[in-house]
Amino acid sequence: MEAYLNGHATTIRSEGQALRAVTLVVDYLKAVKQVSAPLSFWTPSRQLDFAGWLHRTHQHGAATIERVINVLGAAMNDAAAVKMRLDAIGQPVEGAIVSHVPKIVYQGERIAKELKLPRSQIAIAGGATARLKTVALQGEKAALLARLEERFAAR
């Protein structure tokens, strides 16, 4: 996460969102007592647990949760990218930090499934080709909130 923040995240328009997302990831890892968790920690079930934690702890909706998890995925993909980096003594070297990262599965389709909504009621409202997306949920507000609370209360 630190390499992502110090590299790519400082060059993007949504730097503030990236910084907030990283803070939330670190807070979650502290909450589950896994501050030194390896990348393999982020299995699909952990991603969903993180999503539930975001909803319970910060009352985030599905679109915000997806944006936060997209930042996590971008940071992991950045770690796997071969590019110029500084080694331990500050010399530039070409390489990746890791060779493999977990797949981020908590996207629009998964949101629809977990919230028991028809896919037609979920749309990418912004950022379709960007790593950060805005998701629009259609339906009655009270029913959508109830589904979110029901889905994440069990975690």
**Residue boundaries of the structural domains of the chain:** 2-153
Structural tokens at position 54: 């975001």
**Whole-angstrom distance, CA of residue 147 vs CA of residue 3:** 37
Q: Which range has the top average pLDDT, 27-31, 61-65, 66-70, 103-107?
A: 27-31
pTM for the whole structure: 0.65
Phi, psi of 123 (to 5 degrees): -140, 150
Q: Residue 19 pLDDT more than 80?
A: yes
Q: Residue 139 pLDDT more than 90?
A: no
pLDDT of residue 15: 76
Q: Residue 10 pLDDT more than 70?
A: no
Question: What percent of the chain is modeled with pLDDT above 70?
Answer: 72
Structural tokens at position 1: 């996460």
Q: Kindly report, residue by residue over 77-128, the tens digit of the pLDDT.
A: 888 888 888 888 989 999 888 888 888 876 666 766 775 656 666 666 666 5
Look over the chain and give the mean of its residue pLDDT values, rounded to a whole number. Answer: 79
Of residues 63 and 115, more confidence is placed in 63
pLDDT of residue 27: 97
**Whole-angstrom distance, CA of residue 13 vs CA of residue 98:** 26
